[in-house]
Structure 1
Amino acid sequence: MSDIGALAIHSPLHKVFERNRAGGRKGVYSVCSAHPQVIRAALELARDRHQVAIIESTCNQVNQEGGYTGMIPAEFAKSVRSVAREVGLPEDYLVLGGDHLGPQPWRKLPAEAAMAKAVMMVEAYASAGYGKLHLDCSMACADDEPSLSDSVIAERAARLARAAEDTTAEGASKPIYIVGTEVPAPGGMGEGHEIVPTTSASVLETWRAHERAFIQNGLTDALARVVAIVVQPGLDFGNEEVKLFAPNEASDLSAAVLAFENMVYEAHSTDYQTPDAYDALVQMHFAILKVGPAATFALREAIFALEHIAREMPGWDARYSVSSALEAAMMDDPAHWASHYDGDAERQSYLRQYSLSDRVRYYWTVPSVESAVAALFEFVDSSVLPMPLVSQFLPQHARAVATRGIAATASAICRAHVKLALAPYADACGLHALDAVGV
């Protein structure tokens, strides 16, 4: 293989990846969420575990047009950095990432128009100081063939890398890059997709196509910062089911990455796996574990549990019902869930609330939902939470609330529940301690 990847990589992650390739039990998990409570929980956990925090936004969440959060990259970056300072996470422990950066939000346009918008998006991410960019141009646009060749995908990714390289401020660290995409498409198991590990031959084809495209476009320096390839380890999740990782099925794929200099794998859709699975993934060089819906699913669990507690307390008012506000918002605007939830009306109602794919996450910023959450939190925070109700609906946290290990506030309880979902990732990835002692 080319030795281009052996060039120096200036990133707080490169020592972690070096240790992972050498057999050390090191890895990182990337929290892909724009929800403030999830972000704060992830940063607090990273601070407490002495780990690098990777906070990522997707091309649909945050882009130059605002995405579904209404934030452009500079605004998202500013908000995350502000929270990191508030919780006391050292600056060197925070990496901002962009996920699936490419023409995805504009794929219904002709390819050239969609790519022009993707270039503007990547420029916005790079100028905002994002340090980790996943370049994903695997999706077909309006005038493309249904399935794109590796060479077309790589050529488009190189075009985005050029935009990032040219936009990064002079004197600032250049970003590291992730290439490739998982099967099936982002967001969880799709109907009719067989979940099997990527073949080692496919990994080689992906790398060679990107290597060729980067070199032909004068991006040799950027190629040295392509540190990971997205592959399918053989896991995924759907609305109600989880395909668990089977290490024996991915042994050939695991060994294949060691043929590349300084490369590791990035695994997407690792939500809802077991602690043993995360351990095995990290040990098998899936050194970047992406978590998305599982974090906001945990947040929703906590908020719904608080609503159940509040319903049993004196002073309950229907305006505290977050579940009702979410249902109304999702029915008013079904665009984010209608193509994901099948079945009759009763089943769709159930999936809107409880699906593992957590399409709820698109609706937290709807004003009526925000108002309901604020009213519920105010009611909880102004009350003395009865311990029998905490034990009934939040048994995982009852002892900590009783002993004041967790403050008896709605926000603190929600963050504790999100941390519970992230803890298996943190356990598998090990301590980083990026200080004078090194990793």
Structure 2
Amino acid sequence: MIDTTSPTTAAVLDDLVRAQHGGDVRGITSVCSSHPWVLEAALRQAVEDDTVVLVEATSNQVDQHGGYTGMRPADFRDAVLGLADTCGLPRDRVLLGGDHLGTNRWRSSSPADAMSQACDLVSAYVRAGFSKIHLDCSYPCAGDPSPLTDELVSQRAADLLAVAEATAAEVGAAGALRYVVGTEVPVPGGADHELHDLRPTDADAARATLAAHRAAFAARGLDHVWPQVMALVVQPGVEFDALQVVDYRSDRTAALREVLADEPAMVFEAHSTDYQTVEALSSLVADHWAVLKVGPWLTFAMREALFALSEVERELVPEAEQARLPEVLEQVMLDAPHHWRGYYEGDEAAQHLARRYSYSDRARYYWPDPRVEAATEQLMANLRRRTVPLPLLSAHLPVQHARVRAGRLPADPAALVVDAVQDVLRGYATACRTRATPIEETR
């Protein structure tokens, strides 16, 4: 096994927390995607910035059975590290995390069966070298009370913690894991309904969550692990659905931010930060949301670039030879609607627009489909066999056109797509260099 659970990972995250508490405020982007082009963009951004990269696999993408990507944790690890080698990023600058590790995938099962699967899931991630572990048991299982109480969620998180720590000791990584907890966890991948009013987590509720987890860990004899809990997930008031984005407002989180003053080993982790402005992301980091998770925005940017290249193809390639990627993707989504149905409201026309363009980006689940992969490869081949006129490239990818003109970017179609994704990450990189008030001075 390739061991990426090294002291370097713990040191990077611990240093981030110390910086937030000490006034040298900065953040880290958590890239939550399994697509090779997205991962390549993240790795190239780390090379560009001369920094580390944090890549997280979500439990529905990657699990002990393969997830919807067909990858187990060790497969995902090998894919990321192999890409790091290709991009010239040293492996010790790759941090791997597991997102929403818990009962999410097995909500239709009994609590006992779901927790048995969740324990196996956490063990598989730790054995594969993932060192940042999000313990998330906030999803009710069959027969559970609704809503779940902090105490029940925390007890289940403590059960998973015990498995993670035992596995870490087995593989020689005792003390190297860093954990994330929280009961007010946004739905993975964005809201599944139209948003109306979104309120930040109540400060007293956040304190109650911390107290419940601390008590549950102590009850399992794991109170000594509490300093390894490096982040709390709370709702800062950011989210997106198919058609709108709720932007961060710092004035609404003043009381919530004080919660961390008594937790010197902890910062906030922000989920669903996709589509926030750079200014909003910078405010989040300044307000101690030091971990910014992003996923759908990255595949959204990838889809935009691929659709733009499809328009270039329409101009250059005879109709009979065209890949027609947008049409292929649409047909595959219609043939297997379970990934988007329930997310997109309205009539057939509205759902058609949402499948192609929505912020929810449910199209991301379909890129591994063989028909979609074949169309993507054909699009790349069609454009590589031809010289794309610069004015045509400017019409559809003007930012990348400017970089090609300046000699900073090759005109290869895959490179153009990766650069478009990297533009999103460049905004996050800017936000993560924010400076602000130390946590201790927020009282």
TM-score by length of 2: 0.93
Letter of the 2:146 counterpart: P
Tell me the equivalent position of 2:390: 387
Change (3 A) 1:316 1:402: farther
Letter of the 1:334 counterpart: P
Change (3 A) 1:12 1:91: farther
Letter of the 1:51 counterpart: T
Superposed CA deviations along residues 175-203 of structure 1, whole A, max 9, x for unmatched, are 10000144542222334663111111111
Judge conservation of contact 1:309–1:389 (CA < 8 Å) in 2: yes
Superposed CA deviations along residues 1-42 of structure 1, whole A, max 9, x for unmatched, are xxxxxxxx9332211221122121311010000000000100
Tell me the equivalent position of 1:172: 173
Instruction: Give me the whole-angstrom Cα distance separating, in 2, the residues matched to 1:272 and 1:390.
Output: 25
Letter of the 1:359 counterpart: R
2:55 is paired with a residue of what secondary structure? strand
Judge conservation of contact 1:19–1:26 (CA < 8 Å) in 2: yes
Letter of the 1:291 counterpart: V
Tell me the equivalent position of 2:224: 221
Judge conservation of contact 1:17–1:27 (CA < 8 Å) in 2: no
2:56 is paired with a residue of what secondary structure? strand
Is 84-93 or 36-45 further displaced after alignment? 84-93
Tell me the equivalent position of 1:404: 407
Judge conservation of contact 2:28–2:292 (CA < 8 Å) in 1: yes
Which of 302, 308, 314 is the matching residue for 2:305? 302
1:300 is paired with a residue of what secondary structure? helix
Give the superposed CA RMSD.
1.6
Judge conservation of contact 2:26–2:432 (CA < 8 Å) in 1: yes
Letter of the 1:328 counterpart: Q
Judge conservation of contact 2:127–2:171 (CA < 8 Å) in 1: no
Superposed CA deviations along residues 351-386 of structure 1, whole A, max 9, x for unmatched, are 011110100000000000000000001111221111
1:90 Cα deviation (Å)?
A: 2.3
Tell me the equivalent position of 1:6: none
Change (3 A) 1:119 1:26: same
Tell me the equivalent position of 1:372: 375
Instruction: Give me the whole-angstrom Cα distance separating, in 1, the residues matched to 2:144 and 2:70.
Output: 29
Please give the residue correspondences for 1:201-350 in structure 2 after superposition, counting only pairs within 5 Å: 201-317=204-320, 319-350=322-353
Unaligned runs of 5+ in 1: 1-8, 432-439
Letter of the 1:76 counterpart: F
1:135 Cα deviation (Å)?
A: 0.7
Does 1:187 find its partner at 2:189? Answer: yes
Judge conservation of contact 1:406–1:412 (CA < 8 Å) in 2: yes
Instruction: Give me the whole-angstrom Cα distance separating, in 2, the residues matched to 1:144 and 1:384.
Output: 60
Judge conservation of contact 1:184–1:193 (CA < 8 Å) in 2: no
Superposed CA deviations along residues 51-99 of structure 1, whole A, max 9, x for unmatched, are 2211011110000111000000010011101111221222332110111
2:62 is paired with a residue of what secondary structure? coil
1:69 is paired with a residue of what secondary structure? coil
Instruction: Give me the whole-angstrom Cα distance separating, in 1, the residues matched to 2:348 and 2:420.
Output: 30
1:347 is paired with a residue of what secondary structure? helix
Tell me the equivalent position of 2:433: 430
Tell me the equivalent position of 1:51: 51
Is 57-66 or 245-254 further displaced after alignment? 245-254
Judge conservation of contact 2:201–2:234 (CA < 8 Å) in 1: yes
Judge conservation of contact 2:111–2:144 (CA < 8 Å) in 1: yes
Letter of the 2:19 counterpart: R
1:109 Cα deviation (Å)?
A: 0.7
Judge conservation of contact 1:58–1:100 (CA < 8 Å) in 2: yes
Instruction: Give me the whole-angstrom Cα distance separating, in 1, the residues matched to 2:418 and 2:303.
Output: 11
2:68 is paired with a residue of what secondary structure? helix
Instruction: Give me the whole-angstrom Cα distance separating, in 2, the residues matched to 1:414 and 1:235.
Output: 27
Does 1:101 find its partner at 2:101? Answer: yes
1:211 Cα deviation (Å)?
A: 0.6
1:261 Cα deviation (Å)?
A: 1.9
Identity of aligned residues (%): 42
Tell me the equivalent position of 1:74: 74
Letter of the 1:55 counterpart: V
1:405 Cα deviation (Å)?
A: 1.2
Judge conservation of contact 1:24–1:283 (CA < 8 Å) in 2: no
Is 151-160 or 211-220 further displaced after alignment? 211-220
Change (3 A) 1:97 1:184: closer
Instruction: Give me the whole-angstrom Cα distance separating, in 2, the residues matched to 1:356 and 1:182.
Output: 22
Is 338-347 or 87-96 further displaced after alignment? 87-96
2:331 is paired with a residue of what secondary structure? helix
Letter of the 1:197 counterpart: P
Does 1:11 find its partner at 2:15? Answer: no
Aligned residues: 424
Tell me the equivalent position of 1:62: 62
Tell me the equivalent position of 1:435: none
Instruction: Give me the whole-angstrom Cα distance separating, in 1, the residues matched to 2:313 and 2:404.
Output: 16
Superposed CA deviations along residues 302-356 of structure 1, whole A, max 9, x for unmatched, are 0000001111114354651111111111111111000101111111111011110
1:67 is paired with a residue of what secondary structure? coil
Instruction: Give me the whole-angstrom Cα distance separating, in 2, the residues matched to 1:229 and 1:272.
Output: 22
Tell me the equivalent position of 1:42: 42
Judge conservation of contact 2:314–2:322 (CA < 8 Å) in 1: no
Is 15-24 or 314-323 further displaced after alignment? 314-323
Unaligned runs of 5+ in 2: 1-8, 435-443
